[in-house]
Amino acid sequence: MDCVNCQGKCWRSGRQKNGLQRYYCPTCRKYQQARYQYKAYSGSTDSQIKSLVRESVCIRGIARVLGIARGTVLDRIRGLAATIMRPASQPDQVSLEVDELWTYVSRKDNEYWVAYAINRGNSAVVDFVVGKRTKSTLKQLIDRLLCLKPKTIRTDKLTLYERLIPKRMHRAGSICINRIERKNLSIRTHLKRLSRQTICFSRSLLMLESCLLVYFWG
């Protein structure tokens, strides 16, 4: 059998508890099986989960399509999200657009904001914060954005922004944020948990953040 990691030759090396032949790769020093009873162990599962999250498939849907347990899907998404790094730096004098997406977690009255920023030049997501619909949530995001020393920050007319962003770099108004408003529509189309007002929604804040991390930078 060929190794799944290095494609080198593997040796037969005893049997698993369930009687299946076990193999050992001398190069990678790893044990493996030619076939697995639990499908989640095959190498492509993580990348499939990533693609399905982006294609508006819910957790149960992913579990059904891949034939693995729902708990495994949740674990994998959490694990994937933990390895994803937010983009550390941006080109100088970048022009940013900031907007908030309304959503809720577990109950309709438990409202949350996904506040995020995109680079106006290439529409790439620069940073995001998930939090209660308060000034402190926006402040967290704006403070991190100000560290990037942007040329301008464009927002909607929400008055909270006026108190957070220095006047010289602030532009407010619906025309200023046409790109991020288009992006909002894409996000709501591509992430099932943000698509609808009922039926599909986040039950935990951690999963909402994890799915956003996977969607933006995974």
Residues of this chain, 14-53, that bind Zn ion according to CB under 5 A: 25, 27-28
Q: Which stretch binds Zn ion (CB under 5 A): 6-14, 136-144, 168-176, 185-193?
A: 6-14
Rounded CA-CA distance 121/117 in Å is 12
Q: Which DSSP category does 110 fall into?
A: S
Interacting residues of 98 by C-beta distance below 8 A, sequence separation 6+: 115, 116, 117, 141, 142, 145, 153, 154, 155, 161, 177, 180
Which alpha helices (DSSP H) does the chain contain, by range?
45-54, 59-66, 70-83, 135-146, 159-164, 178-190, 192-195, 205-217
Q: How far is the CB of 67 from Zn ion (least distance, A)?
A: 26
Kindly identify the residues of this chain, within the stretch 67-126, that bind Zn ion according to CB under 5 A: none
Closer by beta carbon to Zn ion, 25 or else 138: 25
Q: Which lies closer to Zn ion via its Cβ, residue 3 or residue 200? A: 3
Beta carbon of residue 23, minimum distance to Zn ion (angstroms, whole number): 10
Q: How far is the CB of 26 from Zn ion (least distance, A)?
A: 8
- Kindly report the number of other CB atoms within 10 A of residue 85's CB atom: 7
- State the number of CA atoms in the 13 A half-sphere of 204 facing the CB: 8
Q: Which residue is nearest to Zn ion (CB)?
A: 3
> Minimum Å distance from CB 72 to Zn ion?
25
Among 1, 3, 205, 206, binds Zn ion (CB under 5 A): 3
Q: At closest approach, how far in Å is the CB of 22 from Zn ion?
A: 14
Determine contact, residues 117/138, Cβ cutoff 8 Å.
no
Does residue 200 interact with Zn ion by CB under 5 A? no
**Between 24 and 104, whose beta carbon lies closer to Zn ion?**
24
Q: Considering beta carbons, is residue 23 or 113 the nearer one to Zn ion?
A: 23
Distance between CA 103 and CA 130 in Å, rounded?
A: 10
At its nearest, how many Å lie between Zn ion and the CB of residue 1? Answer: 10
Contact 171, 150 (CB under 8 A): no
| Out of 2, 6, 21, 31, the residue judged to bind Zn ion by CB under 5 A | 6
Amino acid at 145: L
Chain residues in the site for Zn ion (CB under 5 A): 3, 5-6, 8, 25, 27-28
